[in-house]
Amino acid sequence: MSAAQSSENKARLAWVDYARGLCIILVVMMHSTLGVEAAAGAEGWLHYVVAFAKPFRIPAFFLISGLLFAHVADRDRRSFIDSKILHFAYFYMLWLTIQFAFRAPAGIASQGVAQQVHDYFLAFIDPFGPLWFIYMLPVFYVVTRLARPLPAPVVFVAAALLEMAHVQTGWTLIDEFCARFVYFYSGTLFATFIFARGSALPARKGATLALLVLWAATTALAVALGWSEWPGVSLALGFMGASGILAIGVLLADGSWLQAVLAIGRNTLPVYVAFTIPMAITRTALLKTGVISDIGTVSLLVTIVALIVPLMLAWLVRGTRFAFLFERPDWCRLTPAFKARTAVANS
């Protein structure tokens, strides 16, 4: 590989990581803001940012995941099971247990031991809380791999129809599969096109910025008018938003701006599995002390802490006996680890 090709590949990875960073920030912001507002019984100014991002934050996240999966879809079965099923199963079960242990005292006091045990084991067939995302990824990997012999247009149309059906069974696994699979599958299906278009955007910054303004205005209008949940409109806003997030990632990578977003994008798994505990602690502390009265500011501070603490924890435990929190141990692997690193890059 030439030096120019290596540089281009690194640049591509950077803009994808920037986009992932933006997505995880929006997800953590949503959980932090809605949690603060529910506890305080009032809305803050950050609520409007959360509402604006609702049509696209999860679609963009899954489309990017599909984009990355497209490059490893041809792995042999053993490697596929190890990296795309066992990997996420390990972190889901580990952090499900940690989060239940953290909430157990309050849960037992309000609902009893039996209900907590019931909820814990139910989470193995219906994903629990924010962890549903890493539960769904292996499902999407398996379905996409099994669907490869089928005509791609047929699979895409079927997935799009599932999204537009707005299925609501009450089971997270079913509902989120129907709502999100089209975005993951699109990432795998259009990966070559997306990477090619993304690499060309820096040369068209003016046009890209104009389209981003148009996208933001269209999304804000649809949300304000209550159109964003309409069948067809939600699908269009999801794809538009995913495109917008990717375009912003390209522009940020081109200028090497906001390195913190890049760092978060390269460490999405620790943030995603661990943010809820510092989020809950910070929310409780700020609301009980009342040192800050503005709900929007409290939500922002909770978001910042919930993003930073997992990154710090992942750095602190690296190379220690607690590294298993973010790095899958050898006993839980079907194939050898080729490089000692945190589990982030596999997400």
Domain extent listing, the chain: 3-346
| Predicted local distance difference test score (pLDDT) of residue 106 | 82
CA 201 to the chain's CA centroid: 24
More confident residue, 335 or 177: 177
Q: Is the confidence at residue 12, as pLDDT, over 80? A: no
Encoded amino acid at 98, one letter: I
Residue 32: partners with Cβ closer than 8 Å, 6 or more residues away = 279, 283, 299, 302, 303, 306
- What stretches of the chain show up as alpha helix (H) in DSSP? 3-40, 46-53, 57-69, 77-81, 87-111, 113-122, 132-146, 152-164, 172-189, 191-200, 205-224, 233-255, 259-265, 268-274, 276-289, 295-317
Measured distance CA(69)–CA(329) in Å, rounded: 22
Q: State residue 63's pLDDT score.
A: 97
Output 280-288 pairs: Cβ under 8 A, ≥24 positions apart: 280/35, 280/102, 282/306, 283/32, 283/35, 283/36, 283/39, 284/39, 286/36, 287/36, 287/39, 287/40
Q: Do the Cβ atoms of 275 and 312 come closer than 8 Å? A: no
Q: How confident is the model at residue 343 (pLDDT cuts 50, 70, 90)?
A: very low
Check pLDDT > 70 for residue 345: no
CA atoms within 13 A on the CB side of 247: 21
CA pair distance 322, 318, nearest whole angstrom? 7
Under 8 Å CB-to-CB from 35, ≥6 apart: which residues? Answer: 279, 280, 283, 302
Contact 87, 205 (CB under 8 A): no
Distance between CA atoms of residues 195 and 134, nearest Å: 24
What pLDDT is attached to residue 40?
94
pLDDT tens digits along 50-83: 999 999 999 999 999 999 887 777 788 899 999 9
Tokens of 93: 């079960």
pLDDT computed for residue 304 by the predictor: 97
186-207 pLDDT, tens digit per residue, is 999 999 999 888 888 888 889 9
Whole-number Å distance between alpha carbons of 252 and 250: 6
Q: What pLDDT shows up at residue 337?
A: 65
How would you classify residue 258: left for phi > 0, otherwise alpha for psi between -120 and 50, otherwise beta? left
Stated length of the chain: 347
For residue range 17-59, list pLDDT tens digits in order.
999 999 999 999 999 999 999 999 999 999 999 999 999 999 9
